[in-house]
Amino acid sequence: MRRTALLVSAALLTGLLPLTAASAAAGADEPVPVPVDRFEGEIPFASPPAEGIFTWGSDADDPPTLQLSPRSDAPEGEKVLTGTYDISGYGGFTHDFAFDKPAHDWSAHKGIRFWWDGRNNGKKIAFELKDGGANGEASELWTTSFTDDFSGWKQIEIPFTDFTYRTDYQPVGGIDQVLGLTAMWGYAVTLPVGVKGDFAMDGVELYGKADQSLRASVTTGAAVYPVREGGTAGVQISVVTTGSAPIDEPVTVTYETVGGTADPGKDFTPVSGTITFPAGTASGTTRTVQVLTLKDRSAESAETVPLKLTVTGAKAPAETAQVVVDAHGLPYLNDKLPVKKRVADLLSRMTLAEKAGQMTQAERGALTAPGDIAAYDLGSLLSGGGSTPTPNTPEAWAKMIDGFQLRAQATRFQIPLIYGVDAVHGHNNLVGATIMPHNIGIGASRDPGLAYKAGAVTAAEVRATGIPWDFAPCLCVTRDERWGRSYESFGEDPALVESMETVIQGLQGRADGRDLDRNDKVLATAKHFVGDGGTEYGSSTTGTYTIDQGVTKVTERELEAVHLAPYQDAVDRGVGTVMPSFSSLDLLGDDEGPVKMHASADMINGVLKDRMGFDGFVISDWQAIDQIPGDYPSDVRTSINAGLDMIMVPYAYKDFHTTLVDEVEAGRVSEQRIDDAVSRILTQKFRLGLFEQPYADTSGAAEIGSAGHRAVAREAAAESQVLLKNAGSVLPLKKSQKVYVAGSNADDIGNQSGGWTVTWQGSSGDITEGTTILEGMRKSSAQLTYSKDASAPTAGHDVGVVVVGETPYAEGVGDVGNGHDLELTDADKAAVDKVCAAMKCAVLIVSGRPQLIGDRLGDIDALVASWLPGTEGDGVADVLYGRRPFTGQLPVTWPKSQAQQPINVGDPAYDPQFPYGWGLTTLTKVPQGGAATLKALGIAAALAEKAGSAEAGRAIVGKARLIVQERTGAKITAAVAGPFADADHLLTTGRYAAAVQKLTAAYRAA
């Protein structure tokens, strides 16, 4: 969420304030208060980059309403800012100044103050400043709060020294993490959550005179200084000032080693003394205190040596720096020992609290303090969708994660964090990364080798930013395209999903885990176990979702055949982690009713771990244990006893840690279960090589978004294109043709990338680097006209290309019935109608799932399912212009109407617009001979199957498919669709002869 804050010109506003009032407000030795916001109408309601006041919130209902209201009791002027709010997530408002104006210098002042009309509700209200950087979108956030525990108008004064750096928002910062005050971009107000209310605010201004004790600070170069036993740590002590001006008066820093777990004289040589920074010392001047550690012959865990600083004349550091004598000599540190022995040794030394910490995963933005990593012995952090450092660069990611890993070095056994991220189609949180087609497009390619390469590129880019763990791939089998996560699936057929699981080897390397410590491999996650793609429409109880996180109602046979099948293959491939589904499972006939997957011991312990032999660890989904019926202790013990090993508790990491310890001590969770969970977690950390190299290996960072990686994404985009109709061979296009391009998705890289791109939900527009479909086409066309809404004249063109479809969404937000449907927008329909009425036309549908096009199909000459091709629009242009053939096949059934949902291959009643597996081909000659050729192909398929020749079998069935598609043309009946779809399922399972038999039946019915 943008919380930028740029301010109006102080000089301009000073002119608006009556001089007599200004003079009276200032003390004799203080500067005149400088108004920031009078709320008299001088500042408009407008969003960045324009100057203005704007609102924001976590969803559509959370932004407050604002207006400038005349008030007879206004503390200043005639109007005040008023608003109403009812916030469930977060929400507030910001005042920004235009990005093309200079930042402001507030360094002469003591602080900021404003009038607030109190409601005496006891709620805290956050007040934030933006400092430094290029503009309000690339600056540091500094925060404080006040409590509304009064009634009526009150002037809130906040000295700048009260503001603290927002590590949760941008732990890297990208500036200097010093409140400089010379380049200020404004303020933001975060309103209370969980209370419906209104507010009034007036007269924001700078007040008071800054003095050195307020604007000078002493900082240390780091909070943690690891050092090998016998080595010397150099603790850097710096003096910095707001405005970077030299200090006016001397600053003294008295230091001494005191406290900690190391023994003075035995483990280190105590030090003490005083550093003086004389008047006139430049801001940023640094002195170093050397702490010498002593070597003995004992094997020991890590020990801490705090360096206490007492500061005169400046603000002291927020926390005490610690020298940490590294753990040494213990068996678990010996990388020559087998992993199993290292795990057993480390586990035997850990306390219950340390074990509970390893089972805890927090959102990096939710850390209340960086020191919590050590205080709670956290085992993992994650970045949720859109949770990124500022700036969002590979260097900033690596620096951020290294900073977190440094904190873990302050724990007894220096167990490294395992950092996770949802890189579901490339390193999609990172601007400039290579964004692959979503899984639905990879499934359309029918190319396991491509899935492998896509996984390998993703792993290399993710690991190069310091992240060793990817919450991918999704092995869901999508059975209802009304589901907002349909595009995360490879398809509706479990056999197709299994065939694409080569992505696991692309991510992890070899199945035995020996490649996990490479700098281009990551730990993979098979998700969401099990049945997430089969939830029944209308069964969700999550907010306004209709199908996501709902209930999957199946027989045990259906569960095994459809939803469980891909997981055995993933286990056999050595997948390192598995994530359960938010959804519930209702096995028909067992009389137990729906059971939340996070609570299903039968499925997690019984099926996944015991029957399938999964030896990795199970990680929960985002806050998912909170959906288990019962109170919080019940949620914790139920999930852990069901077989979850690590719990994703983004904001509740403290409560979870405490509760888990309490549950074990009370005997409701066994020590054996805890030891099993922690052993599984530690095993993967050792395999990843994190104990030897916890910090980012950025040697591969130059390959992020490289030409080589984008070439793979381009190939994937091309192979994902499915040609559904091609009357008159409109495609491929010729370079000499005059092409008219229209539609909402022709020139929008955000739309063609979809959800989970830079942010969780994704967004339209130029959000990252890459090539749009239009840009790719321009490279291939001698004469091209582009008109998004088809308003430009159509005369004189040979062919039209209309690129339409969906805008981005993710998860249940995209469920049909939750503000979404399967219809094109009115604007897209109008563009299709106008272009296709004027010339031969090809319509490309950029979407995460099929869109209903039946009523226009007769007017469309060529129809392409483009899915969500990612950042490489060149790949789409490659097939449009014949540089590559169309080879994609439908990974899901394309329905005639929404009422047909759910519709899937193998259904007894099966009459779709286009069947599963359908996909026309260009640049390939269709075999002649009809039924006779099919008969011969059937014989050849049987021989290939008997010989175990998969390559030959696939080629034979492919030829038969082309014959059937050519005969069928646009007349796809139920009699054709059923056996045609069945044939593709049989092909994927290696039954080539049966596949040709089904295609022969479809041919006869055509």
List the catalytic residues: 621, 811
Q: Whole-angstrom Cα distance, residue 128 to residue 149?
A: 20
CA-wise closest residue to 926 among 962, 902, 898: 962
Amino acid at 1000: T
β-bridge partners, 188: 94, 128
Is residue 833 classed as helix, strand or coil in its secondary structure?
Answer: helix
Tokens of residue 129, six digits? 């400043």
Q: Whole-angstrom Cα distance, residue 964 to residue 980?
A: 8
Our CA dihedral for 750, 66, 207, 154, rounded to 10 degrees, sits at: -140
Asked if 554 and 530 touch (Cβ cutoff 8 Å), the reply is no
Task: Compute the Cα dihedral for 995, 996, 997, 1001 and give only its sign.
Answer: positive
Peptide bond between residue 468 and the one before it cis (omega within 30 degrees of 0): no
Torsion angles phi and psi, residue 9, rounded to 5? -55, 125
Peptide bond between residue 102 and the one before it cis (omega within 30 degrees of 0): no
Strands of 132-195, DSSP E: 140-148, 151-159, 164-165, 184-190
> CA 256 → CA 90, 315, 319, 321, 503, distances in Å?
43, 18, 14, 11, 54
β-bridge partners, 164: 143
Tokens of residue 889, six digits? 């096949």
> CA 482 → CA 347, 804, 893, 894, 958, distances in Å?
46, 18, 12, 12, 30
Strands 140-148 and 164-165: antiparallel
β-bridge partners, 273: 255
Helix ranges (DSSP H) in 446-586: 448-463, 494-499, 502-508, 556-558, 565-572
Q: What share of the chain is helix, strand, coil (3-state, %, to 5)?
A: 30, 25, 45
CA-wise closest residue to 104 among 300, 216, 243: 243
Q: Whole-angstrom Cα distance, residue 990 to residue 1001?
A: 19
Q: Whole-angstrom Cα distance, residue 292 to residue 914?
A: 74
The tally of CA atoms less than 13 A away on the side-chain side of residue 1006 is: 22
CA-wise closest residue to 680 among 739, 640, 710: 640
Tokens of residue 177, six digits? 């993490």
β-bridge partners, 54: 94
> CA 262 → CA 265, 294, 323, 691, 972, distances in Å?
9, 10, 10, 22, 78
Residue with tokens 């009309």: 117
β-bridge partners, 141: 130
Q: Whole-angstrom Cα distance, residue 988 to residue 473?
A: 19
Torsion angles phi and psi, residue 95, rounded to 5? -110, 120
Tokens of residue 745, six digits? 């998705």
Number of H helices, E strands in the chain: 26, 37
DSSP secondary structure letter of residue 699? G
Torsion angles phi and psi, residue 563, rounded to 5? -95, -35
Residues 6+ positions from 171 with CB-CB distance below 8 Å: 364, 370, 389, 400, 403, 404
Is residue 741 classed as helix, strand or coil in its secondary structure?
Answer: strand
Q: Whole-angstrom Cα distance, residue 523 to residue 36?
A: 50
